[in-house]
Every structure is written in C-alpha cells, then in structure tokens.
A = this chain, B = another copy of it.
Amino acid sequence: MTDSQPLEHRQGSEPGRHNLDPHIDRYAARTAGMTASEIRALFAVASRPEVVSLAGGMPNLAALPLESLSGQMAELIAEEGLVALQYGSAHGVPALREQICEVMAMEGISGHPDDIVVTVGSQMGLDMVTRLFCDPGDVVLAEGPSYVGALGSFAAYEAQVVHVEMDDDGLVPDTLRAAIDATRREGKRIKFLYTIPNFHNPAGVTLAVERRAEILEICASNDILVVEDNPYGLLGFDGQTYPALRSMDPDNVVYLGSFSKTFASGLRVGWVLAPHAVREKLVLAAESATLCPPTLNQLVVSRYLSTHDWKGQIKTFRENYRERRDAMLSSLEQHLPAGCTWTQPDGGFYVWVTVPEGVDTKAMLPRAVTARVAYASGTGFYADGFGSRQMRLSYCYPTPERIREGVRRLAGVLESEMELVRTFGSVTTRAVSGPQFPGPDTA
C-alpha cells in the first residue's frame, strides 16, 4: 500500500524500528498487539487547518459559557482548594456521585450513589471492566462496527471480539443469538456484550426500544453480562431519550457514563454504575490503575452541575449538533455519488457511510487528505479486518459551512475513485492482520 505511506508514521510499527528496540524481548504478550490505529496515524495530518476533518470526535466546546466557568474555577480553588488539590478516594467524590444519579435519572435509571465509581473518562471505565472480567482468549460480543477505544481496551487484555450485526434499529436480536451459539460451539467463553445503544459510535443508529427487552433477555438467559456505554444518550436532537438498558435489568448491566459530551471532554470525568458486588471490585481495580481520579476535576463538574443550568447547556449542544447533522445529511444527499448509502442519526456525533463495491476507504484516505478532507475509515471499528467499504463521518466539530465543503471534497474524491474502479477494477488494501490497537478518538 505504497500510496498510504505518507500517513503511516506509525510509531514502532516499522520493521526497522522494531529490530532496533533493545527491549523487544521483554514485553508482555499483550504488547505485541499494540500498533497505532489508522485514526491515530491520521491525527497529525488531519489537524492541519486546511483539511476539513470529518474524522474526529471532539465535542464543540465553543458553546460553553467560559467566562462563568472561569469565575467558578477561581471560587473553587479559593473556597475548597485544600480538598480539590488533595488525594481523594478511588470511589469518587460522594457529592458528585449523588449528582450523577440525577443525570442518569433522565434516562430512567434509579441507581444508588454508592454503586457508582468515578473514572478518568469512560475509557477508564471500559478498561477497568475489561480488567475485572477478561482473561486472555475470553470473548467480548460487540456491535459491528464498534467504538475504536473499546476495541483498544479489549485488545489490551487479549480478549477476542466477536462482532454482532446491526441494522437501522441497532443490534439485531437474532444475529446476537446466532453469535452466542456459534461462539459457544467453538468452545469459547463469552464474558459480556459491549453495546452503545444510543446514537451509536460509529454507526449513528439507535437500538429500537422494542428490541431492548429482547436483547437483555437473550443475555440474561445465556448468563452473559451487558456493558452499556452511553456517552451520547442525552444528545437526541428532538430532546428524546430512550430507556437505558440499565434501567430495565439493574442486576445484569454495567453502565458507563461520561461528562465528555454533555460538559467537557478535557476534564476526563466519567463513571461506572455497577451491580454492588462488581462495584466493590471496580474500586479496587481503579486504585491499582490511578489511585484516585483527580479531585479537582470532580469538584469542577460537581460545582457546574449545582450552579449552572446544565440541562439548558445540553439543549444548546443538541441544537448545535442537530444543525450540523442537517448540514451533513443534506450535503451527502446532494453530493455523494449514486451507490453510496449512509445512516440517519437522530442524535450524537456520527454518520456511517457505505461506499460502492470496489472502493476501499482505507486505500482512499491519503487521496482524500490530499483533497483536504479527512474521515475515519471503517476497518478501525472492527477487530476482524471488516469495514473496508465503510467510513465514519463526524459532524460534531466543524461548522455547518465546513461540513458542506468537506462533503463536497469527499464526493469529488469518491467519484475519481469510482472512475478508477470502473477503469482498472477493485483498489484493494493490504489485509489487516489481527486487531489493530486503536488510538484516541480525538482527532
């Protein structure tokens, strides 16, 4: 794949480099699987100002009331500095855990503050849950495609991901049943189903309400835990919410939440709500990982929730993102060549695009960047090399005008690519050997 070389500044992935690493024989088995993802490799290039990046998942913080936050931060240090700057417990600040219960109540969850563990973003929650449950070789069921950061945590614990198909209504129950049966026939142990029911990353779809009980029933009757990741649930464009899986089966669901998309991602404040016995283990795991989450950040969020109109702020975010979603969907409709299809998100950050047969989104990416538009190619969202005809487009960060310009450029690239395919046949890419280690979803 010579033509993607310019993007492949993969740290440590060049054979020459590996041979130069005197520590190469010392690493753990899990470390062998750690190679930088396509998204990570893209980071530097896609962040150049002339490139319209539809690749990353950065929230649009320009909508935040910085002046008032600035004053609050000053008050926090002046009034509670000795607490904010001191160690806390691995469990998290009690007042914040109570407030988190109020946030979760908006999606029908009645949790107890004691069953919440505050984490360094919900990425850490994912990592801790995997640490608790997965031995090497254990299977995690996950939607196909799935969140790139989750695949990274699963790979770090040498868990094997089995993807389950989705349609426009999310995870397909029959496909889940089939995946469970097939995996068990191979003699493998399934530890949990990892699912993003609302405004899926990267697929942009939502699990239909009428499927939720069925999915939970399939898991419960097969003795499989459910890990529900819900960073976007309050970002439904009509203000709509859906009943959380956790609200329907508290004993068999571990719930991951985050303030990254409803307040500020750079604070890295997320949480896990878990059945009581699991929560106890989670606190111990979190202690060994970071001792405690930053106290300052927890108090910043707590003060924000108690003094700001945080629900109003979420409404502002939602309206912001709806406008951008509209810009993206209308320009996809207007510009994308025939043969392309895409999902219709009702909330969240992402549209999932499927391109005509013969076009390879990973091979096309360097040409797209040359045409000053970036996206996340589909293979990064699968642990099994699938996804070469897919791409994720984010509308969260660029302005509507930039989104339209980006889609126009992408359409041009796609048309040349399809022309090439018609002339020379399929443009394939090198097969991905094993799961890549995904990078930050922050480009």
Interface residues of A (CB under 8 A from B): 11-12, 17, 20-24, 26-31, 34-36, 40, 43, 57-59, 61-62, 64, 66-67, 69-71, 73-78, 81-90, 120-121, 123-124, 127, 131-135, 138, 149, 152-153, 155-157, 191-192, 225, 251, 260, 264-268, 275, 277-278, 280-281, 283-285, 287-297, 300, 437-442
Residue in contact with A268 in the complex, picked from B64, B82, B293, CB distance below 8 Å:
B293
Kindly report which residue of chain B lies nearest to residue A73, judged by CB atoms.
Answer: B73
Report chain B residues within 8 Å CB of A438: 287-288
Main secondary structure of the interface of A (DSSP, over half): helix
A64 and B285 alpha carbons, distance in the complex (Å): 31
Q: List 20 A-B contacts (CB under 8 A).
A: A21-B277, A23-B225, A26-B192, A34-B288, A61-B81, A66-B81, A70-B78, A70-B81, A83-B266, A85-B267, A86-B264, A120-B120, A123-B288, A127-B289, A152-B288, A155-B288, A156-B288, A266-B295, A268-B291, A291-B442
CB A158 to nearest CB in B, in angstroms, measures: 10
Evaluate contact between A294 and B266: CB separation under 8 angstroms.
Answer: yes
| Chain B nearest Cβ from A294, distance in angstroms | 4
Given A85-B264, A87-B442, 14 new contacts (CB under 8 A)? A22-B275, A26-B133, A26-B191, A27-B132, A27-B281, A31-B281, A34-B285, A57-B87, A61-B81, A61-B86, A66-B81, A85-B266, A123-B289, A156-B289
Contact present for B77 and A69 (CB under 8 Å): yes
- The count of identical subunits is 2
Contacts known (A133-B27, A440-B291); A22 close to B277, Cβ less than 8 A:
yes
For A439, the chain B residues whose CB sits under 8 A away are: 90, 284, 287
Contact of A29 among B24, B26, B84, B135 (CB under 8 A): B135
Question: In chain B, what residue has the closest Cβ to A134?
Answer: B28
Cβ-closest chain B residue relative to A62:
B82
Q: B288, A149: Cβ atoms under 8 Å? A: yes
Interface centre among A123, A289, A292 (most CB of B within 10 A): A289
- A149 contact set on B, CB distance < 8 A: 287-288, 291
Tell me if B290 and A124 are in contact (CB < 8 A). yes
Whole-angstrom CA separation of A120 from B88 in the bound complex: 13
B127 close to A290 (CB less than 8 A): yes
Rank and list the top 8 A-B pairs by shortest CB-CB distance, nearest first: A21-B277, A87-B442, A266-B295, A85-B264, A74-B74, A152-B288, A70-B77, A12-B280
In the complex, the answer to whether A124 meets B289 with C-beta atoms within 8 Å is: yes
A67: chain B residues within 8 A (beta carbon): 78
Report the minimum CB–CB distance from A22 to chain B (whole Å).
7
Which residues on B sit within 8 Å (CB–CB) of A296?
Answer: 266-267, 296-297, 300
**Chain B residue with Cβ nearest A192:** B26
Given the complex, which residues of B lie within 8 Å of A40, measured CB to CB?
Answer: 287
Quick check: A34 and B266 within 8 Å, CB to CB?
A: no
Task: Please name all residues of chain B whose beta carbon is closer than 8 Å to the beta carbon of A90 when the two chains form the complex.
Answer: 439-440
Q: Please, which residue of chain B has its CB at the minimum distance from the CB of A283? A: B11
Whether A81 and B58, one on each chain, are in contact in the complex, defined by CB atoms closer than 8 angstroms, is no
Q: Which residues of chain B are near A77, meaning CB under 8 Å?
A: 66, 69-70, 73
Q: How far is the CB of A312 from chain B (nearest CB, A)?
A: 18
Contacts of A440 in B (CB 8 A): 87, 89-90, 287, 291-292
Residues in B with CB closer than 8 Å to A17 are 277
- Please give, as numbers and ranges, the residues of chain B lying within 8 Å of A28 by CB-CB distance: 131-135, 138, 157
* B58 in contact with A288 (CB, 8 Å): no
How far apart sit A249 and B297, CA to CA, in the bound complex (Å)? 37
Q: In the complex, A86 Cα to B70 Cα: how many Å?
A: 15
Contacting residues, chain B, for A297 (C-beta < 8 A): 294, 296-297
Shortest C-beta distance, A116 to chain B (Å), equals 14
Instruction: Determine the distance from Cα of A277 to Cα of B25 in the docked complex, in whole angstroms.
Output: 12
Do A123 and B294 have beta carbons less than 8 Å apart? no
Q: Is there contact, CB below 8 Å, between B290 and A85?
A: no
Question: A290 contacts which of B81, B121, B275 (Cβ < 8 Å)?
Answer: B121
Q: Which partner residue on chain B sits nearest A150 by CB separation?
A: B288
| CB pair A225 B127 closer than 8 Å | no
In whole angstroms, how far apart are the Cα atoms of A157 and B87 in the complex? Answer: 24
